[in-house]
């Protein structure tokens, strides 16, 4: 049932994002995505996912959150490959998937944002609560998955991530194209996350696990002006 819901959410967002977009901006004669062409990419996605999941052992993860995120990143690689199977250029396929992935990510995040706004009044406390809820689920601590610490400072929340289940999984596929897709989508979503319900929100980091660093040093601000005041 849970997988069916994920399939449904992905398909609806694929249609919403893709229909009407160019199939290949470098070759206009290929036309634009129609619902039929979206269904073809969608079909490719699940064929690719079945292949990837054949060698995936979800039992190594202790928490449902980690298992969910690994499943979602497997879907991401499969969707990206679904575009490539249709001879869509790699750079364009990455951009198309990035938009689909962001659409899904925001849909899954909104309930947490609403809860944070109900519980807290100030933007920074709302942002802190939102990120902390995500740390409980789906980004829960796991011996073989997410490992991190977080703390609050004046006007910002700090989260240092030492291990990332989706990142480790993508790297385990030994496909440099999938890793680049991950860097250009999943690793970029965090920059826009604080702005989902607050246009002043800001995010920064100087290190990233997917780039080979030993930590993702994430800093979350409810107001970008805080950074200007510190300079």
Query: What is the secondary structure of the chain as a DSSP string?
Result: -HHHHHHHHHHHHHHHHHTTSBS-TT-GGG-B--HHHHHHHHHHHHHHHHHHHTT--GGG--SHHHHHHHHHHHHHHHHHHHHHHTT--HHHHHHHHHHHHHHHHHHHHHHHHHHHHHH-SSHHHHHHHHHHHHHHTTS-B-TTSBEEEEEEETTEEEEEEEE-HHHHHHHHTT-HHHHHHHHHTHHHHHHHGGGSS-TT-EEE-S--GGGT-S-EEEEEES-THHHHHH-
| End-to-end Cα separation, the chain, in angstroms | 51
Segment 178-186 shows an average pLDDT of 98
| Residue-level pLDDT at 225 | 76
User: What would the two tokens of residue 135 be?
Assistant: 């740390």
pLDDT category of residue 6 using cuts at 50, 70 and 90: confident
Residue 69: CA count within 13 A, CB half-sphere: 25
Segment 86-97 shows an average pLDDT of 98
Domain extent listing, the chain: 2-230
Segment 60-71 shows an average pLDDT of 96
User: What would the two tokens of residue 58 be?
Assistant: 């979800």
Instruction: Let me know the angle formed at the C-alpha of 206 by 231 and 184, rounded to the nearest 5 degrees.
Output: 125
Query: Is residue 52 a contact partner of residue 173, using CB atoms and an 8 Å limit?
Result: yes
pLDDT category of residue 230 using cuts at 50, 70 and 90: low
| Residue-level pLDDT at 227 | 65
Q: What is the pTM of this model?
A: 0.93
pLDDT at 190 over 90: yes
% of the chain at pLDDT higher than 90: 91
pLDDT at 106 over 70: yes
Residues contacting 151, CB < 8 A, separation 6+: 157, 158
What is the CA 155 to chain-centroid distance, rounded?
A: 25
| Residue-level pLDDT at 88 | 98
Largest CA distance in the chain: 55
């Amino acid at each position: 049932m849970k997988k069916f819901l994920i399939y449904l959410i992905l398909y609806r967002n694929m249609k919403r994002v893709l229909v009407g977009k160019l199939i290949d901006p470098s070759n206009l004669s290929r036309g634009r995505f129609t619902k039929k062409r979206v269904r073809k990419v969608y079909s490719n996605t699940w064929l690719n996912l079945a292949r990837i999941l054949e060698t995936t052992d979800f039992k190594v993860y202790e928490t449902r959150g980690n298992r969910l995120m690994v499943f979602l990143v497997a879907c991401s690689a499969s969707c990206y490959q679904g575009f490539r199977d249709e001879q869509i250029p790699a750079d364009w396929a990455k951009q198309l998937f990035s938009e689909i992935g962001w659409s899904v990510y925001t849909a899954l995040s909104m309930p947490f944002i609403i809860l944070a706004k109900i519980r807290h009044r100030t933007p920074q406390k709302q942002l802190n609560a939102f990120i902390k809820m995500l740390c409980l689920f789906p980004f829960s601590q796991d011996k073989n998955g997410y490992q991190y610490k977080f703390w609050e400072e004046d006007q910002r929340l700090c989260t240092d991530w030492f291990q990332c289940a989706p990142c480790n999984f993508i790297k385990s596929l030994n496909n440099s194209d999938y890793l680049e897709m991950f860097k250009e989508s999943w690793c970029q979503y965090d920059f826009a996350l604080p702005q989902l319900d607050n246009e002043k929100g800001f995010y920064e980091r100087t290190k990233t696990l997917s780039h080979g660093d030993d930590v993702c040093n994430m800093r979350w601000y409810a107001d970008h002006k805080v950074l200007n005041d510190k300079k």
